[in-house]
Amino acid sequence: MGKTRKMKVLVVDNEMEFASTLAERLRQSKIKAESVYSGEDALDTVSRFMPDVMVLAMQMPNMSGLEVLAQVKAIDPTIEVILLTGHGSFDVGIAGMELGAFGYIVKPVDLAQLMEKITEANKKKLGE
């Protein structure tokens, strides 16, 4: 039996408290997690951290989640991206799906639902 590798998740949200809290909760669940607070930092971190799953806020200053999504998929199309959309931005979630996002969740986030979605995304990446 091969050694199982820890899932790696990158949380990207300009709401620092949310992003760092989510990353901490993931670490408590034995998942390697990092949090960054801008699209630019996300792109810098992707090539170094090589996440399996990215939780990505849609609305951030300077660079939208859709822009980040498109660039992340260009860097590594196997990274599964879960979009976090604000209230009433259903269309943005659909646009993200068209760009290759795994799925989207509307804020405020139900943590149990998000954890389930992260696990599903990682299973897809692993081909399970």
**Per-residue pLDDT tens digits for 13-28:** 999 999 999 999 999 9
- Assign a CATH topology to domain 8-126: Rossmann fold (3.40.50)
Please report the pLDDT score of residue 87 as a whole number.
62
pTM (predicted TM-score): 0.92
Determine the residue type at 81. V
Query: Cα(56)–Cα(93) distance, rounded to whole angstroms?
Result: 11
Furthest-apart CA atoms within the chain: distance in Å: 46
Q: Where are the domains of the chain?
A: 8-126
Query: Cα(51)–Cα(45) distance, rounded to whole angstroms?
Result: 9
> What does the DSSP 8-state code read for residue 103?
E
Instruction: Render the burial of 53-68: b for 16+ CB within 10 Å, e for the rest.
Output: bbbbbbbbeebbbbeb
Please report the pLDDT score of residue 2 as a whole number.
43
